[in-house]
Structure 1
Amino acid sequence: MLLPFEKMHANGDDFVIVDMRGRKNIIDRRLIEQMGDRNRGIGFNQLAVIVDCEDADARLTFWNPDGTTLDACGSATRGVAWKLFRETDRLKIIVRTNHGLLTCTKEADGLITVDMGRPLFLWHEIPIDRKLDTLRLPILGEPAACSMGNPHCSLFLDDFENADVIGVGQRIESDPLFPQKTNVHFVQILSPSGIRLRIWERGGGIPL
């Protein structure tokens, strides 16, 4: 069967949107792995599937290119919201994710914002495998951890240019401390209002 899709990006972080509203959802891990292959498929950092929802404008499920799932994705949610806003003259819509209900707003300049909610800092919310101080984890670099619907681990660095994003990212992503694996952030603080950031994405590698 033909499977229509849309491909979008947010500053180079690319994602695919598949609208399954009103149809049987045939998306499974095998299909995701085929679609996520950048050489033989479509390629993406995340894929979002839109399905019908009784208590929101739509329900979203998210996939990494390796076939694993994630509870929320801000960039892909904004892409879905842009698609849904084309169907209505409203300025706010609500979508349901595994992270909960997310409010999407169409701003005056036409850009789309998503309220992702407050960060979660408790060890079992992230989750990590045991009760720990999540602002100083007992692994190399003493990173901090939180959840925005997915586990995030942040290393604060002085030598940002020489950060081994691939090597350290892969190692921390699969550290036993994170039973669901984790995204890894490499952060240099520039000022109270500015940072530099490089990312190793769980199940996806380095996005732009």
Structure 2
Amino acid sequence: MKRRFEKMHGLGNDFVIFDARETPLEMDGATARALADRHTGVGCDQLIVIEPSQIADLRMRIWNADGGEVEACGNASRCVALLAGGHSRIETAGGVIQGEALDGAAEVDMGTPRFGWDEIPLAYPLDTAAMPVGWEDLHGPAAVNVGNPHVVFFVDDSGAVDLARLGPAIETDPLFPDRVNVNVASLDGGAIRLRVWERGAGLTQACGTGACATAVAAIRRKLAASPVDIRLPGGTLTISWRPGESIRMRGAATHVFTGEVAL
């Protein structure tokens, strides 16, 4: 059986997207992992299935390249919002978000961040604004849940951190029962430079939820003011947030091609 898919990316964070609103599609971790393989599959950081929703305009399900299903993906949300067109309400496992399609871009309301230790979640209570933990030269991170869990380390030079080595160790540390996304950020004038080790995907060109978590952490620590530009390897996202309000993320979303694959 062949199914049509859309290949899209948000600042280089790339997706294979299936629209299953009219014709259902059974997806599992093994199939998602096979399709994500860049040598023997289509190739992507995350695989997305769009389904009908009873509480929103559509439902978005997300599988990482390792086959694990996750709660949220900011860059994929912008791509799905662009596909949906106009204003849309998108159900995710992390909650209902709202998207608006723009010209070659999208703005997404990502909902309100959560800071409770049990909302991240952590294995035991800690101050999530500045956690008294560390891994080698990375220490004192902030923890934020923006639909999925993140830790954010503020460092002098984000590019100098060996994130390919430290990322997996932090992601799978027993402190994080659901694993965690790892962000290393450095101030760059009024903007922030960011690199992200994504849970289940590794180093990616951009991470939308990571940009949201980093902006929120920086604003909480008074290191930045809203709106703040987050400069990732794949490009820049603009994040707006005020305490008690929802996070708004604006950035590019690009359609690459339409294809078919045998499942």
Q: CA deviation at 1:11?
A: 1.2
Match of 2:71, as an amino acid? D
1: distance between equivalents of 2:34 and 2:116? 36
1: distance between equivalents of 2:173 and 2:41? 30
Q: CA deviation at 1:131?
A: 1.0
Partner in structure 2 of residue 73 of structure 1:
73
- Specify which of 188, 194, 199 is matched with residue 197 of structure 1: 194
Contact 2:97 2:110 in 1 (8 A): yes
1: distance between equivalents of 2:69 and 2:42? 18
1: distance between equivalents of 2:156 and 2:106? 33
- Partner of 2:4: helix, strand, or coil? coil
- Partner of 2:99: helix, strand, or coil? strand
- Partner of 2:50: helix, strand, or coil? strand
Q: CA deviation at 1:110?
A: 5.3
1:179 is the counterpart of 2:177: yes
Gap runs ≥5 in structure 1: 86-90
For residues 130-170 of structure 1, what are the alpha-carbon distances to aligned partners after superposition, in whole Å with 9 as ceiling and x for unaligned?
Answer: 11111222232121111111111111111433211111111
Gap runs ≥5 in structure 2: 206-263
Of stretches 56-65 and 109-118 in structure 1, the one that deviates more from structure 2 is 109-118
1: distance between equivalents of 2:69 and 2:126? 25
Partner in structure 2 of residue 116 of structure 1:
110
Structure with greater proportional strand content: 2
1:93 is the counterpart of 2:91: no
Contact 2:159 2:195 in 1 (8 A): no
Q: CA deviation at 1:38?
A: 0.9
Partner in structure 1 of residue 99 of structure 2:
104
Relative contact order, CA 8 A, sep 6+: which one is greater? 2
1: distance between equivalents of 2:72 and 2:123? 21
- Specify which of 128, 146, 150 is matched with residue 122 of structure 2: 128
- Partner of 2:117: helix, strand, or coil? coil
2: distance between equivalents of 1:194 and 1:75? 19
Partner in structure 1 of residue 208 of structure 2:
none
1: distance between equivalents of 2:72 and 2:113? 13
2: distance between equivalents of 1:112 and 1:162? 31
TM-score (norm 1): 0.92
- Give the aligned CA root-mean-square deviation in angstroms: 1.3
- Partner of 1:125: helix, strand, or coil? coil
Give the total of aligned pairs: 201
Q: CA deviation at 1:29?
A: 0.9
1: distance between equivalents of 2:8 and 2:198? 18
- Partner of 1:48: helix, strand, or coil? strand
Contact 2:197 2:203 in 1 (8 A): yes
Contact 2:186 2:193 in 1 (8 A): yes
- Partner of 2:178: helix, strand, or coil? coil
2: distance between equivalents of 1:170 and 1:110? 33
Contact 1:152 1:183 in 2 (8 A): yes
- Partner of 1:169: helix, strand, or coil? helix
Match of 1:41, as an amino acid? G
TM-score (norm 2): 0.73
Change (3 A) 1:176 1:92: same
Change (3 A) 1:160 1:77: closer
2: distance between equivalents of 1:6 and 1:110? 15
